Structure 1
Amino acid sequence: MTSSSAVLPADALAGLADADTQRRAALLVQDAFAQVFRLTVDGDDAAAGEGVAQLGNALGNWSAAADDGDGRVLRLALLLSGLDQWGLAYCQAFGLQGLPALSALLGTLRGGLDATDDSRLQRHYASIGAAEGNAIDFKVDVRRAIHLALWHGAVASEERDEALRLAAQLGGMLVALTREMPELGWRLVADALAHIQIQCLAHGLAAEGLAREATEALFAALARELPASCRDEVMATSARVVMNWQQARRPH
């Protein structure tokens, strides 16, 4: 368990993709996934093909704008990693067998690589997960967006079973993060809880009814299921983030 005051591990990929680049990659992934998810749901094959081609071109251009070959391929690896994470999370949360438009986009992004760049891509993709601190700004932003999207799905649901099921799926993902990332995963969980509370305070969400029940169920499950070694740190850190946000909004 790493205390909140400890120094974060070094990001071995920061020299090729700095924090701003990583955050930009996370935002591009979020926008691209939203589009391919909508294209899949709409079920229009022609529109999906055109949309995937446009997305592939835009994302490819962003990757190609890096200063050198390794930077270009790392950008692509970040995009693929993020899209994979979004796709897995949604398939698990909504019981989907697959997302055809997402699969097509992933194929488009990899399709133009020669053997050398494909080998580089595999190496950089593996390096993202090789150490918890690698591409940490990217990881934080991707996971935050996924967690908030699933929470919004839960609180927007009009069916109690669906709302509680999504909240339970999200809770399971957050608990799993602490196992997958034993050093930093708790920070991502605290980040998710803090931003859920901030959304509630800023926009009056989950104040009553089913939305409140689902949110309370999520927090109760985490308090019950998180390992004792990190539960108090998660709750204290998320509370501190919310308090800082509230203080920053007060008139001086």
Structure 2
Amino acid sequence: MTHAPSLPDDPLAPLVPPEDQRQAARMAHDAFARLFRLSVEGKPAALAAGVAELEIGCREWCSAAGSEEARALRQALLASGIDQWALAYSQAFELTQLPGPSALLGALRAGLDVVADARFQQQFESVEREEMHAIDFKVELRRAIHLALWHAMAACDDRAEAARIMRGLGGMMLALIERMPLVGWRLVADALAHVQIRLLSQNAPLPQETTQRLFESLRLSLPAQRHREILAAAGQAVLAWQQARRPN
């Protein structure tokens, strides 16, 4: 059996440690979930109040960092996370606009002076461009996005709607593997392992069927060796989960 090579260190970890990176991903998730709900409800006053409250919370968390660079990186992570959630949902559910996330991103950026904005932009571009930059943030974020879309797919009663979400999720996974050649396939394997674990606890036929189609679409779209590596990594994670649940 071949083993995946070890990953290089994250050069941004000294600025924002792994646990803080994971916290940024969770904060972005929570902010998006709240703003998505408020956007769907269509109540402008409630949405504006939600944006204002979240802006304060995000700014306070960023301000707690120990340096200007760390504060800029924290804000870049929050912005990147919210933006990726909005993009994923727009693609999966064919949405044309999400006013809540856009308003929060604009508010966070508008409060920066010229120097702080340049510092933020530099950190944001670094995270987007360099695969290993803020890797713990990326792992936490992509896992949450993939599983949220899978849960949305699994909750569908309509086969066509479930298939549409499945196609969106599969496309995101393939794009991630292409954009992040070193880590992307590992993130997909992580998501597939969590999906398999969820399926072990339910017997609903439509989620089983649609998930099987997701696996099949990945098999057909990926090089055979890469597909085998993903399945092997996912299988090992599921096996470890099963072994951990066995009584001693």
TM-score w.r.t. length of structure 1:
0.95
Q: Does the 8 A contact of 1:168 with 1:218 survive in 2?
A: yes
TM alignment of 1:76-155, pairs within 5 A: 76-155=75-154
Between 38-47 and 8-17, report the one with greater CA deviation: 8-17
| Equivalent residue number for residue 32 of structure 2 | 33
Q: Does the 8 A contact of 2:149 with 2:165 survive in 1?
A: yes
Task: Determine whether 1:231 maps to 2:230.
Answer: no
Q: Does the 8 A contact of 2:12 with 2:133 survive in 1?
A: yes
The one-letter amino acid paired with 1:209 is: P
| Equivalent residue number for residue 250 of structure 1 | 246
Q: In the aligned structure 2, how far is the partner of 1:246 from the partner of 1:36?
A: 36
Deviations 1:140-177 (A, max 9, x none): 11000000011011110111100011111111111111
Q: In the aligned structure 2, how far is the partner of 1:44 from the partner of 1:7?
A: 49
Q: In the aligned structure 1, how far is the partner of 2:68 from the partner of 2:198?
A: 40
| Equivalent residue number for residue 220 of structure 1 | 216
Provide the secondary structure at the position in 2 that maps to 1:132: coil
Deviation at 1:109, TM superposition (A): 1.1
TM-score w.r.t. length of structure 2:
0.97
| Equivalent residue number for residue 172 of structure 2 | 173
Deviations 1:23-66 (A, max 9, x none): 00001011111001001000000000001100111111111110
Task: Report the aligned-residue RMSD.
Answer: 1.1
Deviations 1:78-124 (A, max 9, x none): 00001111011100111111100111110111121110000000000
Deviation at 1:4, TM superposition (A): 4.3
Deviations 1:182-235 (A, max 9, x none): 11111011011011112222xx23x23212111111111112212223110000
| Equivalent residue number for residue 23 of structure 1 | 22
Q: Does the 8 A contact of 1:4 with 1:237 survive in 2?
A: no
Q: In the aligned structure 1, how far is the partner of 2:141 from the partner of 2:19?
A: 13
| Equivalent residue number for residue 13 of structure 2 | 14
Is there any run of 5+ residues in structure 2 with no aligned partner, and where? none
Q: In the aligned structure 2, how far is the partner of 1:35 from the partner of 1:225?
A: 35
The one-letter amino acid paired with 1:120 is: R
- The size of the alignment, in residue pairs, is 247
The one-letter amino acid paired with 1:247 is: Q
The one-letter amino acid paired with 1:160 is: R
Q: Percent identity?
A: 51
Q: Does the 8 A contact of 1:4 with 1:233 survive in 2?
A: no
Task: Determine whether 1:159 maps to 2:158.
Answer: yes
Q: In the aligned structure 1, how far is the partner of 2:158 from the partner of 2:61?
A: 40
Q: Does the 8 A contact of 1:187 with 1:234 survive in 2?
A: yes
Provide the secondary structure at the position in 2 that maps to 1:28: helix
Q: In the aligned structure 1, how far is the partner of 2:180 from the partner of 2:5?
A: 16
